[in-house]
């Protein structure tokens, strides 16, 4: 089972380490052709406008939409969540979506100044142990469509959600030693493979 980490920006090595700790084989992805060898894909955090621009420049938009259409799991973390969303709200108003795959409205940089960065334990539906999470200028999920399951909230705000083969969280699970969420994603990839044969 190969899971790729989109290597345009962000904590690629940390995601690879967490995926390996979760028992998956992880590879860094720099060209769209490499998607053919993968059963799952992680889109890391960073800055979503920059990641979106680089995705357009290197031909990743259509390639990842095609990957998703095949039902192959995708996990977006922080800026990666923004890149997955159908609707994006910036501090200045609505922004163009990037991949526009997941039926949710996200608000960028949603945590106030004192809480721009913080670390906490979260209860995520479907995971028995607490998940250690690092929030860095994190987005929030303001609203989700009927097909989206909310997996975790902080102070009543959604920070983790899943729509079938798509998983998104507004924090950085890769910046801790806790591989629980990566294990959850690896399990999604494994289950999809069992179905797809
Ligand atoms: N604030 C970034 C954005 O809006 C996301 C932050 C992150 O990925 N840590 O793109």
Instruction: Report whether residue 48 contacts ligand 1, using a CB cutoff of 6 Å.
Output: yes
The predicted structure's pLDDT at residue 180: 97
Contact between 115 and 137 (Cβ < 8 Å): no
The predicted structure's pLDDT at residue 114: 64
The predicted structure's pLDDT at residue 197: 65
What are the phi and psi torsion angles at 147 (to 5°)?
-85, 0
Which are the contacts of 153, defined by CB distance < 8 A and separation ≥ 6?
159
Instruction: Report whether residue 46 contacts ligand 1, using a CB cutoff of 6 Å.
Output: yes
Q: C-alpha angle with apex 174: 167 to 27, nearest 5 degrees?
A: 80
d(CA 144, CA 162) in angstroms, rounded, equals 10
Measured over the CA atoms of residue 135, residue 13, residue 40 and residue 29, the dihedral's sign is: positive
Q: What is the pLDDT along the chain (197 residues), one digit of tens a residue?
A: 899 999 999 999 999 999 999 999 999 999 999 999 999 999 999 999 999 999 999 999 999 999 999 999 999 999 999 999 999 999 889 999 999 999 999 999 998 766 789 999 999 999 999 999 999 999 999 999 999 999 999 989 999 999 999 999 999 999 999 999 999 999 999 999 888 76
Report which protein residue has its CA nearest ligand 1's atom 3.
Answer: 47
The predicted structure's pLDDT at residue 116: 82
Where does residue 144 fall: left (phi above 0), alpha (psi -120 to 50 degrees), or beta otherwise? Answer: beta
The predicted structure's pLDDT at residue 195: 85
Q: How far is the CA of 171 from the centre of ligand 1 (A)?
A: 9
The predicted structure's pLDDT at residue 153: 97
Q: How far is CA 166 from CA 41, 51, 57, 114, 115, in A?
A: 10, 18, 23, 31, 27
d(CA 98, CA 174) in angstroms, rounded, equals 23
- Tens digits of residue pLDDT in 30-51: 999 999 999 999 999 999 999 9
Complex-level ipTM:
0.95
Q: How far is CA 100 from CA 82, 96, 97, 161, in A?
A: 9, 9, 5, 15
- Active site amino acids: 78, 172, 174
The predicted structure's pLDDT at residue 111: 83
């Amino acid at each position: 089972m190969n899971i790729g980490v989109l290597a345009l920006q962000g904590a690629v090595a940390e995601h690879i380490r967490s995926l390996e700790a979760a028992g998956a084989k992880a590879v860094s992805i720099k060209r769209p052709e490499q998607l053919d060898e993968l059963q799952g894909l992680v889109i890391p955090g960073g800055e979503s406008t920059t990641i979106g621009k680089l995705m357009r420049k290197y031909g990743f938009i259509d390639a990842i939409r095609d990957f998703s259409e095949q039902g192959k799991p995708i996990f977006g973390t922080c800026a990666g969540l923004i890149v997955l969303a159908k609707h994006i709200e910036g501090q200045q108003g609505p922004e163009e979506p990037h991949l526009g795959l997941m039926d949710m409205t996200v608000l960028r940089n949603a945590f106030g100044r004192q809480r721009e960065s913080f670390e906490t334990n979260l209860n995520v539906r479907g995971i028995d142990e607490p998940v250690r999470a690092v929030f860095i200028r994190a987005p929030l999920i303001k609203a989700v469509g009927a097909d989206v399951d909310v997996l975790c909230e902080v102070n009543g705000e959604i920070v983790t959600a899943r729509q079938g083969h798509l998983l998104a969280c507004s924090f950085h699970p890769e910046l801790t030693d806790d591989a629980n969420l990566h294990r959850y994603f690896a399990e999604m990839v494994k289950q999809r493979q069992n179905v797809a044969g």
